Chains A and B, each alone.
Chain A
Amino acid sequence: MDLAIETSALTKKYGSLTAVNKLDLKVKRNTIHGFLGPNGAGKTTTIKILVGLLRPNEGTVKVLGQELHGGKSAGFLQSFYEQADSRLSIGYMPELPKFPKHLKGSELLDIYGQMYGMTQKQRKEQIPKLIELVGLKGRENDLIGKYSKGMQQRIGIAQTLLNNPKLVILDEPSLGLDPVGMVEVREVVKEIAKEGRTVFVSSHLLFEVEQICTHVTIINRGTALVSDTLQKVSGILTGPAMLHVEVAKISDTIVNAVKKLPCVSSVLQTGNTLRIQMTTHEDTRAQVSQEITRSGGIIVAMSQKTSNLEDVFIQLINKDQGGKPQ
């Protein structure tokens, strides 16, 4: 499996507190992977280990195929040099990023670009594009000290993409943004992923993760509770989906035709409404509507009830904490 991030039995302790507990995390390349968990679950600690800000007590970390924190064989000096090199292909935005207030937005990107080894020509091409992408055009020559929290978040995203990274790690990218800013950030994240990058995003906003992520890991008390595609994670607890269809001119022909569909488990008719129990949690509305129309029915309304990420998240966390509500 081609993995962008792979941790094995990753453990980080702060005194007697175990922030990350034998975490096995696998993030496939070219996916948008959401990293979910309640406050204090160990998300930020894990991310800080991934980017080299913290050293784990135990376990191994591989980012883009390269073992971090020196591995077992690396020497004192080698471990740090290699780790700096591993960051050439990573873009990271910390939670509520802080940048030097004395620098202008464009200067910050220029200096960081130099740290990535970008030539002046590359920086001149890349920086205006990024400034435009994050909506800071016209403000790039202001000191960062004069930026609002939202603008700092935007310059944070821009610096993440400077080096055209293969892996983008975003820690709570929407934190502190107004609703418009949050929507814009979501669009930017989707845009980033389109260019064939892996995006690893931690968030406490479940609807945000649901809208942008293809894969999800839910973590609590430093341990991964579940990790899979968003669809599978959404379906793991409550089983197959239920479809509600309101049909004008309903007939037995229509009901029987629907029952014969392989994705249908059972059909219950109440007046003009059909309650269809599916065999899968996948979206089968197209198949069902096609069958009803073919049988002469006219669909007035249709909705599919599946468990969403929020249901799964709350159930998993409650279960992990012995049924106590969050």
Chain B
Amino acid sequence: MTTTRKNTGRQRPSWFTRFWAVVKYEMLWNIRKKKFLGLIIVAFIFATLSWVLPVVLSATTDQAINANPNYAVTFSIPGIGIFLFALITAMNSISSEFESGTIIPLLTKPVSRSMIFLGKLLATLIIILVTYTILFVYVVIGGALVYGPQNNLHLVPLGLFGNVISTFIWIAIIIAAGTVSKSTTLSTLVAFGLFFGLFFAVPIVSVFAGPSPVLNYLPGSGASGTMMTTQGQIGIGAGTDNIGANLINYALYSSANVGFNMTHIELQGDQPLITQVFAYSEPISLITSRAVVTAVVYTIVFLFIAWIAFKWAQILE
């Protein structure tokens, strides 16, 4: 649908036509990045190894592979993988447009800055969604071939959705850092610093000082606990990086509780005695919903910061 501009007398093209052009522009940028293609190859290599190695081991040790009907449904991209996918897809999104000067011709086209910002976000979402979908389908097929028929396959999209939410926190942080600093190097350093800072600090703090409630509201892997189920003990990460896995855990064991321990160190003579002491427990429903809300809040806040910075950026160079 078009309307006519009162001053220029030109037909105003539809919002969607212009918006989709931005999406296309960003998607082509992303899928042609060598580092993105490299990351996909690495992700598929790891996914392949996870079922090829058991086959190789089975062949060399003459032991049959045990059937694992929950292999596919319990698959989740690890925290570092989520972070790297976010970094590779978002690190160049806005900051490198400023650095390379390509932002100038883009901003002088009849597309508003909000349109460009939203278009870039949608392109990133599509890229992540398509990549994860292919990866999850690959894992389901591989799992079925190696570990036999798979159960609860209808829950796989839920896990995929959770992984996308987890990825988007990091995408929002990286885009915000890149838009404010207009520097890819700086935004990458900020993202790496934050990810690895939390990656190492949170488990250490939660082990020795107890899983503080604050840790549950930070992005990343969060506090580690264990959940007792009819299938046995399952390790749980309470942070935002594990939303995909926890959504599945909640769907499968909705009334289960997760126990968190802390490390107790006591000196007995000259020797320290290290014991694990029960700290507290929380239902999986609370852990999952809290992580989802935390992720959504972080994503909205950082994207809002990025949007404001982008909207008001002046092109001085």
Interface residues of A (CB under 8 A from B): 14, 48, 51-55, 64-66, 80-81, 83-90, 92, 94, 96-103, 107, 111-112, 114-118, 156, 159, 166
Contacts and interface: CB of A to CB of B under 8 A. Distances in A.
Contact of B18 (A64, A90, A114): A114
Contacts of A80: 112-114, 311
Contacts of B20: 114
A199 to B, nearest CB: 16
Interface string B93-104: 000000011101
Nearest to A104: B28
20 contacts: A64-B7, A64-B8, A80-B114, A84-B18, A84-B115, A87-B109, A87-B110, A90-B108, A92-B108, A97-B104, A99-B105, A103-B28, A111-B21, A111-B25, A112-B21, A115-B18, A115-B109, A116-B109, A117-B12, A159-B105
A97 B105 contact: yes
Interface of B: 2, 5, 7-8, 10-14, 17-18, 20-22, 24-25, 28-29, 32-33, 100-102, 104-105, 107-115, 311, 314-316
B110 A51 contact: no
> Of residues B14, B102, B115, which shows the largest number of chain A Cβ atoms within 10 Å of its Cβ?
B102
Contacts of A114: 17-18, 20-21, 24
B243 to A, nearest CB: 32
A290 to B, nearest CB: 47
A167 to B, nearest CB: 10
A244 B235 CA distance: 99
A48 B13 CA distance: 24
> Of residues B29, B107, B113, which shows the largest number of chain A Cβ atoms within 10 Å of its Cβ?
B107
A83 B10 CA distance: 14
B31 to A, nearest CB: 9
B65 to A, nearest CB: 43
A84 B105 contact: no
Contacts of B113: 80
A36 to B, nearest CB: 22
Contacts of A83: 112
A96 B104 CA distance: 11
A96 B12 CA distance: 29
Contacts of B314: 53-55
6 pairs of A and B residues whose beta carbons are closest in the complex: A117-B13, A114-B21, A98-B101, A53-B315, A84-B112, A102-B32
Contacts of A101: 100
Contacts of A64: 7-8
Contacts of A98: 100-102, 104-105
B12 A85 contact: yes
Contact of A88 (B10, B32, B104, B112): B10
Given A85-B12, A88-B8, A112-B109, 9 more contacts: A52-B107, A65-B7, A80-B113, A85-B5, A100-B29, A102-B29, A107-B28, A115-B111, A117-B110
A104 to B, nearest CB: 9
B85 to A, nearest CB: 19
Contacts of A92: 105, 108
A65 B8 CA distance: 8
